[in-house]
Amino acid sequence: MEIKSIFFDIDHTLYDSSLQVESARRNAIKAMIEAGLDVDEKTALESLNSIVKKFGSNYQSHFDELLKEFDYPYDPHIIAAGIVAYHTTKIAYLVPYPDTVPTLIKLNETGYKLGIITDGIPVKQWEKLIRLGLQHFFHSVFISSDIEKEKPALEMFNLALKEMKLKPKEAMMVGDRIDKDIAGANKVGMITVQILRGKYSKNIPKSKLEEPDYVISTMKDLLDILNKYV
Protein backbone atom coordinates (compact mmCIF):
# COMPACT_ATOMS: atom_id res chain seq x y z
CA MET A 1 0.00 0.00 0.00
CA GLU A 2 1.24 3.49 -0.85
CA ILE A 3 2.39 5.66 2.05
CA LYS A 4 0.67 9.05 1.95
CA SER A 5 1.73 10.65 5.21
CA ILE A 6 4.75 10.62 7.52
CA PHE A 7 4.62 11.58 11.19
CA PHE A 8 7.63 12.59 13.27
CA ASP A 9 8.51 12.93 16.91
CA ILE A 10 10.40 16.16 17.77
CA ASP A 11 13.06 15.59 20.46
CA HIS A 12 16.05 13.49 19.33
CA THR A 13 14.34 13.05 15.96
CA LEU A 14 14.38 16.52 14.41
CA TYR A 15 17.06 18.03 16.66
CA ASP A 16 19.55 17.04 19.39
CA SER A 17 17.55 17.54 22.56
CA SER A 18 20.14 15.90 24.84
CA LEU A 19 22.97 18.20 23.74
CA GLN A 20 20.69 21.21 24.13
CA VAL A 21 19.58 20.36 27.67
CA GLU A 22 23.01 19.28 28.92
CA SER A 23 24.67 22.43 27.58
CA ALA A 24 21.95 24.71 28.96
CA ARG A 25 22.17 23.23 32.45
CA ARG A 26 25.97 23.34 32.51
CA ASN A 27 26.06 26.99 31.41
CA ALA A 28 23.38 27.87 33.95
CA ILE A 29 25.53 26.43 36.74
CA LYS A 30 28.59 28.31 35.50
CA ALA A 31 26.63 31.57 35.48
CA MET A 32 25.29 30.96 39.00
CA ILE A 33 28.81 30.30 40.27
CA GLU A 34 30.02 33.54 38.67
CA ALA A 35 27.13 35.33 40.39
CA GLY A 36 28.16 34.08 43.83
CA LEU A 37 27.18 30.42 44.23
CA ASP A 38 30.23 28.94 46.00
CA VAL A 39 29.79 25.31 44.95
CA ASP A 40 31.90 22.99 42.82
CA GLU A 41 30.54 22.93 39.25
CA LYS A 42 30.29 19.15 39.01
CA THR A 43 28.53 18.86 42.37
CA ALA A 44 26.08 21.64 41.50
CA LEU A 45 25.29 20.11 38.11
CA GLU A 46 24.62 16.69 39.64
CA SER A 47 22.28 18.32 42.17
CA LEU A 48 20.46 20.25 39.44
CA ASN A 49 19.93 17.06 37.43
CA SER A 50 18.51 15.35 40.52
CA ILE A 51 16.18 18.31 41.17
CA VAL A 52 14.88 18.22 37.59
CA LYS A 53 14.28 14.48 37.90
CA LYS A 54 12.45 14.97 41.20
CA PHE A 55 10.23 17.93 40.25
CA GLY A 56 9.92 17.36 36.50
CA SER A 57 11.27 19.38 33.58
CA ASN A 58 8.27 21.76 33.54
CA TYR A 59 8.74 22.89 37.16
CA GLN A 60 9.40 26.63 37.30
CA SER A 61 11.75 26.87 40.29
CA HIS A 62 14.64 24.48 39.72
CA PHE A 63 17.27 27.09 40.59
CA ASP A 64 15.42 28.11 43.76
CA GLU A 65 15.55 24.47 44.83
CA LEU A 66 19.25 24.33 44.00
CA LEU A 67 19.99 27.17 46.42
CA LYS A 68 17.99 25.38 49.12
CA GLU A 69 19.99 22.21 48.43
CA PHE A 70 23.17 24.03 49.46
CA ASP A 71 21.57 25.99 52.33
CA TYR A 72 21.70 29.30 50.49
CA PRO A 73 19.08 31.98 51.21
CA TYR A 74 16.86 33.11 48.34
CA ASP A 75 19.07 35.20 46.05
CA PRO A 76 17.38 36.69 42.94
CA HIS A 77 20.76 37.67 41.45
CA ILE A 78 22.08 34.10 41.43
CA ILE A 79 18.75 32.67 40.29
CA ALA A 80 18.37 35.21 37.47
CA ALA A 81 21.92 34.49 36.28
CA GLY A 82 21.04 30.82 35.98
CA ILE A 83 17.76 31.50 34.19
CA VAL A 84 19.31 33.83 31.61
CA ALA A 85 22.22 31.49 30.86
CA TYR A 86 19.91 28.50 30.63
CA HIS A 87 17.50 30.08 28.15
CA THR A 88 20.22 31.75 26.09
CA THR A 89 22.01 28.43 25.67
CA LYS A 90 18.77 26.53 25.09
CA ILE A 91 17.86 28.79 22.16
CA ALA A 92 21.40 28.70 20.74
CA TYR A 93 21.35 24.89 20.63
CA LEU A 94 17.82 24.64 19.25
CA VAL A 95 18.88 23.83 15.69
CA PRO A 96 17.83 20.94 13.43
CA TYR A 97 20.09 18.01 12.71
CA PRO A 98 21.98 18.75 9.45
CA ASP A 99 19.88 16.29 7.44
CA THR A 100 16.48 17.30 8.86
CA VAL A 101 15.62 20.25 6.60
CA PRO A 102 16.91 18.75 3.32
CA THR A 103 14.93 15.57 3.96
CA LEU A 104 11.72 17.42 4.88
CA ILE A 105 12.06 19.55 1.73
CA LYS A 106 12.44 16.43 -0.39
CA LEU A 107 9.45 14.74 1.24
CA ASN A 108 7.28 17.81 0.67
CA GLU A 109 8.38 18.05 -2.95
CA THR A 110 7.53 14.38 -3.42
CA GLY A 111 3.99 15.02 -2.20
CA TYR A 112 3.92 13.43 1.24
CA LYS A 113 1.78 15.10 3.90
CA LEU A 114 3.90 15.53 7.02
CA GLY A 115 2.77 15.60 10.63
CA ILE A 116 4.00 15.66 14.22
CA ILE A 117 2.99 13.29 17.03
CA THR A 118 4.69 14.37 20.24
CA ASP A 119 4.34 14.43 24.00
CA GLY A 120 4.65 17.68 25.91
CA ILE A 121 3.06 21.05 26.59
CA PRO A 122 1.59 22.58 23.41
CA VAL A 123 3.19 26.03 23.76
CA LYS A 124 6.62 24.53 24.40
CA GLN A 125 6.41 22.06 21.53
CA TRP A 126 5.19 24.75 19.14
CA GLU A 127 8.00 27.02 20.34
CA LYS A 128 10.49 24.31 19.40
CA LEU A 129 9.05 23.91 15.92
CA ILE A 130 8.99 27.66 15.32
CA ARG A 131 12.52 28.28 16.63
CA LEU A 132 13.74 25.31 14.58
CA GLY A 133 12.12 26.94 11.56
CA LEU A 134 10.21 23.77 10.77
CA GLN A 135 6.58 24.67 11.48
CA HIS A 136 5.69 25.26 7.82
CA PHE A 137 6.67 21.74 6.81
CA PHE A 138 3.88 20.08 8.78
CA HIS A 139 0.22 19.80 7.83
CA SER A 140 -0.90 18.67 11.30
CA VAL A 141 0.58 18.67 14.80
CA PHE A 142 -0.74 16.37 17.52
CA ILE A 143 0.47 17.06 21.08
CA SER A 144 -0.31 14.86 24.08
CA SER A 145 -1.57 17.63 26.38
CA ASP A 146 -4.23 18.60 23.85
CA ILE A 147 -5.95 15.21 24.24
CA GLU A 148 -4.69 14.38 27.76
CA LYS A 149 -2.99 11.20 26.56
CA GLU A 150 0.70 10.44 26.09
CA LYS A 151 2.44 8.08 23.70
CA PRO A 152 2.20 5.12 23.37
CA ALA A 153 -1.55 5.62 23.97
CA LEU A 154 -3.49 4.48 20.91
CA GLU A 155 -5.63 7.62 21.07
CA MET A 156 -2.66 9.75 19.95
CA PHE A 157 -2.05 7.74 16.80
CA ASN A 158 -5.70 7.02 15.98
CA LEU A 159 -6.51 10.73 16.19
CA ALA A 160 -3.71 11.53 13.74
CA LEU A 161 -4.98 8.88 11.32
CA LYS A 162 -8.56 10.09 11.62
CA GLU A 163 -7.75 13.79 11.17
CA MET A 164 -5.54 13.07 8.15
CA LYS A 165 -8.10 10.59 6.71
CA LEU A 166 -5.56 7.78 6.51
CA LYS A 167 -5.59 4.02 6.77
CA PRO A 168 -2.87 2.76 9.18
CA LYS A 169 -0.66 1.33 6.42
CA GLU A 170 -0.82 4.65 4.56
CA ALA A 171 1.04 6.32 7.43
CA MET A 172 4.58 6.09 8.76
CA MET A 173 5.80 7.05 12.24
CA VAL A 174 9.43 8.14 12.70
CA GLY A 175 10.84 8.49 16.21
CA ASP A 176 13.73 7.63 18.49
CA ARG A 177 11.87 5.82 21.28
CA ILE A 178 10.88 2.18 21.05
CA ASP A 179 8.61 2.41 24.11
CA LYS A 180 6.79 5.56 22.98
CA ASP A 181 6.93 6.11 19.22
CA ILE A 182 7.33 2.58 17.90
CA ALA A 183 5.17 0.60 20.33
CA GLY A 184 2.18 2.92 19.98
CA ALA A 185 2.34 3.21 16.20
CA ASN A 186 2.80 -0.55 15.84
CA LYS A 187 -0.37 -1.20 17.82
CA VAL A 188 -2.52 0.82 15.43
CA GLY A 189 -0.86 -0.72 12.38
CA MET A 190 1.31 2.13 11.09
CA ILE A 191 4.66 1.60 9.36
CA THR A 192 7.31 2.35 11.99
CA VAL A 193 10.86 3.68 11.73
CA GLN A 194 13.24 4.08 14.66
CA ILE A 195 15.97 6.66 14.15
CA LEU A 196 19.07 5.92 16.20
CA ARG A 197 19.62 9.29 17.83
CA GLY A 198 19.69 10.58 21.39
CA LYS A 199 19.78 8.77 24.70
CA TYR A 200 17.09 6.25 23.74
CA SER A 201 18.87 4.90 20.68
CA LYS A 202 20.10 1.82 22.58
CA ASN A 203 16.63 0.90 23.76
CA ILE A 204 16.36 -2.79 22.88
CA PRO A 205 12.94 -4.12 21.80
CA LYS A 206 11.43 -6.40 24.42
CA SER A 207 8.85 -8.04 22.22
CA LYS A 208 7.83 -8.44 18.61
CA LEU A 209 5.13 -5.83 19.19
CA GLU A 210 7.80 -3.20 19.89
CA GLU A 211 10.11 -3.94 16.98
CA PRO A 212 10.23 -1.19 14.34
CA ASP A 213 9.70 -2.08 10.69
CA TYR A 214 12.88 -0.19 9.87
CA VAL A 215 15.88 1.22 11.75
CA ILE A 216 17.83 4.20 10.35
CA SER A 217 20.74 6.32 11.52
CA THR A 218 20.12 9.41 9.37
CA MET A 219 16.94 11.13 8.25
CA LYS A 220 17.83 10.87 4.58
CA ASP A 221 17.62 7.06 4.87
CA LEU A 222 13.85 7.55 4.85
CA LEU A 223 13.97 8.28 1.15
CA ASP A 224 15.32 4.81 0.37
CA ILE A 225 12.62 3.18 2.51
CA LEU A 226 9.83 5.17 0.86
CA ASN A 227 10.98 4.07 -2.59
CA LYS A 228 9.84 0.58 -1.65
CA TYR A 229 6.24 1.80 -1.34
CA VAL A 230 5.99 3.70 -4.61
Phi, psi of 85 (to 5 degrees): -65, -40
Measure the CA–CA gap between 31 and 167, rounded to whole angstroms. 51
pLDDT higher than threshold 80 for residue 43: yes
- Inter-axis angle of helices 76-92 and 62-69, nearest 10: 130
DSSP 216: E
Residue 230: the pLDDT is 76
Domain regions of the chain by residue span? 5-15+95-229, 18-92
pLDDT higher than threshold 60 for residue 145: yes
Per-residue pLDDT of 53-71, as tens digits, reads 999 888 999 999 999 999 9
Instruction: Say if residues 82 and 70 touch (Cβ distance below 8 Å).
Output: no
Q: Which superfamily, per CATH, for 5-15+95-229?
A: HAD superfamily/HAD-like (3.40.50.1000)
Mean pLDDT of the region 208-228 = 89
Q: How far is CA 227 from the centre of its chain?
A: 27
Per-residue pLDDT of 118-138, as tens digits, reads 998 899 999 999 999 999 999
Confidence of residue 175 (pLDDT cuts 50, 70, 90): very high
Q: Which CATH class is domain 18-92?
A: mainly alpha
